[in-house]
Amino acid sequence: MLKGDVLLSNFIANQSVHERFGGVVPELASRAHQQNIIPVVDQALKSAGVQVGDIGAVAFTRGPGLMGSLLVGVSFAKSFAMARGIPMVEVNHMQAHILAHFIRKPGENYPAPEFPFLCLTVSGGHTQLVLVKSPLEMEIIGETLDDAAGEAFDKSAKLLGLPYPGGPQVDQHAALGDASRFTFPHPQIPEYNFSFSGLKTSILYFLQKEQKKDADFIEKNIHDICAGIQWTIIEILLKKFKKAAREFKVKDIAIAGGVSANKGLRNAITRMGEENNWRVHIPPFEYCTDNAAMIAMAGSFKFAEGIFADQQIAPLARMPF
């Protein structure tokens, strides 16, 4: 729930149902959305101290994402908007991750990125370098050609026998490890694009080789293995980020998306900013992984411009900027 650009409430219904399957099961995700959506909206209203009749517009994610889950949100937004006679605003999930940098709670006033800025958006489904010219004008200048950075974390974690989602697990182990003990090759990809599928394969072969010599290799070295994997992912990301920030001569750089919660990445980008005289913007943890506040924030920029969606709108699993 947002009033202007001030956040009144932000609730997430966690979907622990996926844990035992080692990944998100789309059918279960949409069912959980259907069950959770009314209670979560109710909770957000109560916590914000807002009456249903006070709501001026409803923002919703049109895409990209899992179709079943998007359908639940889009249908809810349409019904809500129609019942209340209020406008609705469609939001692009990846743009919302970036615009999370503008969310402020009452009394908060730390500096927001200045336009144009360069944002590295890293999540479970996407890895993009985005030149952000204004809240409504963004250009993807590079992206992954295969796996996303979050997928690289999750798939590596799976190879190590760690539970889903693996990103936060790798992060925790890596904090206790030595990143220089095990190193993995970097891909040679042109321009500002990324690739992570080769990393997964090299980790798999590395583990198979080491486990032949010592069956307990993973258990004994989990911290150092995670530190090595995490450092490789961060280096792949930041090498392109640095090149792009120099090329586009931006003064502000930012990270967004689920993987921006990674402590190693947060530290590394802070250092990169200090070394190059760039102002670094790192979202608070609560706005890194998927959340409603970022959708409301992105919606409020369009609302201010009078850009609304109509009742015919349909979700898009893949959605361009």
- The nearer residue to Zn ion, 168 or 187, going by C-beta atoms, is 168
Residue 274: which residues within 8 A CB-CB, separation 6 or more? 280
Contact status: 123 vs Zn ion (CB under 5 A):
yes
Q: How many residues bind ligand KG4 (CB under 6 A)?
A: 18
Q: Are strands 137-143 and 88-92 parallel, antiparallel or unpaired?
A: unpaired
d(Cα 134, Cα 122) in Å, to the nearest integer? 20
Contact status: 127 vs ligand KG4 (CB under 6 A):
no
Helix residue spans in 5-102 (DSSP H): 26-48, 67-84, 93-99
Contact status: 315 vs ligand KG4 (CB under 6 A):
no
**C-beta of 142: minimal distance to ligand KG4 in Å?**
18
Q: Which does 167 bind (CB under 5 to 8 A by kind): Zn ion, ligand KG4, none?
A: ligand KG4
Contact status: 290 vs Zn ion (CB under 5 A):
yes
Contact status: 259 vs ligand KG4 (CB under 6 A):
yes
> In sequence order, what DSSP letters do the residues of 192-251 get, joined into one string?
T-B--HHHHHHHHHHHHHHHHH-TTHHHHHHHHHHHHHHHHHHHHHHHHHHHHHHHTT-S
Among 198, 257, 299, 315, binds ligand KG4 (CB under 6 A): 257
Among 63, 73, 113, 125, binds ligand KG4 (CB under 6 A): 125
Three-state DSSP at 146 gives coil
What's the angle, vertex CA 111, arms to CA 107 and CA 117, rounded to 5?
145
Provide the token pair at 50: 């807002």
Q: Which residue is nearest to ligand KG4 (CB)?
A: 258
Q: In what order do the strands lie in the sheet with 252-256?
A: 137-143, 127-134, 117-122, 252-256, 279-281
- The nearer residue to Zn ion, 45 or 259, going by C-beta atoms, is 259
Q: Which does 165 bind (CB under 5 to 8 A by kind): ligand KG4, Zn ion, none?
A: ligand KG4
> Which positions touch ligand KG4 (CB under 6 A)?
123-125, 150, 153-154, 165-168, 171, 257-259, 261-262, 289-290
> Which positions touch Zn ion (CB under 5 A)?
123, 290
